Amino acid sequence: MMELYLLEQLIAFSRQGTLSGAAEKLHISQPALTKSLARLEQELGVRLFDRSSTPIRLTYAGERYLQGMKNIAAMKYQLDKELEEIADMRKGRLVIGIPDTRSQRWLPHIVPPFLKECPGIDIKVEEISSGALEQSLLRESIDLAIVTTLPMATAGLSYEVLRDEQLMIMASPEHPMFYELDLSHIDYQQRVLHYIHPERLQDQAYISCTPDRGLYRASTQLFERFSIHPHKIMEISNTSTARMFARDGLGFIITPTHSVLAKKMEGARVICCTISDPALFRTLIVAYKEGHTISAAGRRFIDIVKYAAHTVPELQPTTFPIVYDLER
């Protein structure tokens, strides 16, 4: 591409009509200008000036080249301006992925403050499962996956930690795992984790998430840690439905402790348990493709997610204390 100073020289010549006038306008000597433009002709392999006329003038090729370079210069100016706007977060596009199980809880506290700061950024949100989010990051069809969890099943991804989230075992008091235990003293509205021996889950009816869910991986890790093989009676992707099935006694589930506080669980007779002390936690993260350059807008979005994770009351971790009132 022609250097911009050469374009300035051509424009000066076209406006002044003479090499001497152009040289004076550019504050350079006429021989230097003549040599510079001759070198340009040599590089292009085409005559830009008709030297047979007095004064010399641009050839047809010179006129076309000058107009073309003016167009390119205008495009470069517009591109530079657009890139400056993107760098300043005044313009751009950000594609965010979030697990569909978390979007209603998190997005209202994240997207509005971001758009208030960066109104020129076009946001697209993909609400899909954790497994699908990881594949989308690899394909670069999304820029960031927010509020997903460790462990990840996909190589080639990086992440930044948001905070930890407590998990629990939840089941109806009618579940067979409790048959030999005295539950008469249980206050089903008290938010504690009742410790039970890991072997109580052995061969017991279990409602599992589908493998594309982050909770599936956390559950698998727990079972492997304690060498537990529950009797999986079904896999279900909708965690809200899974809680209803557990409430109704179909099987136990593993779920975040905050899920028992959901409106649909008000008044539910369920027992919240743990088989480990301390209780099981998993880590919430923001993920992106390894080596992927995060835009200034993307970095600001991550900062807002982190801030919300630690300050918004509705998003604070729900942690239940462990009690040893069923067995020791």
CB 176 within 8 A of CB 204: yes
Candidates 190, 194, 150, 152; CA nearest to 171 is: 194
pLDDT by 10s per residue, the chain, length 328:
456 677 778 877 877 878 888 888 888 888 888 888 888 888 888 888 888 877 788 889 888 888 888 888 778 767 765 666 556 566 688 999 999 989 999 999 999 999 998 888 889 999 999 999 999 999 999 999 999 999 888 899 999 999 999 999 999 999 999 999 999 999 998 999 999 999 999 999 999 999 999 999 999 999 999 999 999 999 999 989 999 999 999 999 999 999 998 888 888 999 999 999 999 999 999 999 998 888 888 988 999 999 999 999 999 999 999 999 998 7
Closest to 59 measured CA to CA, from 72, 68, 50, 46: 50
Q: What is the pLDDT at residue 87?
A: 63
Does the reported pTM lie above 0.85? no
Q: How many CB atoms lie within 10 A of CB 153?
A: 14
Cβ-Cβ contacts under 8 Å for 50 (sequence gap 6 or more)? 56, 57, 58, 59
Q: State which amino acid sits at residue 191.
A: R
Nearest CA to 160 out of 292, 254, 313, 258 is that of 292
Q: Calculate the CA 146 to chain-centre distance.
A: 5
Taking a C-beta distance cutoff of 8 angstroms, is the pair 96, 304 a contact? Answer: no
Q: Which residue has the tokens 């599992």?
A: 208
Rg from Cα positions in the chain:
33
Q: Report how far apart, in Å, the C-alpha atoms of 248 and of each of 41, 124, 245, 268 are.
A: 85, 38, 5, 9
> What torsion, rounded to 10 degrees, do the Cα atoms 140, 159, 114, 314 define?
130
Question: How many CB atoms sit inside 10 A of residue 203's CB?
Answer: 12
Confidence (pLDDT) at 62: 83
> Would you list the DSSP string of 95-159?
EEEEETTTHHHHGGGTHHHHHHH-TTEEEEEEEE-HHHHHHHHHHTS-SEEEEEESSP--SSEEE
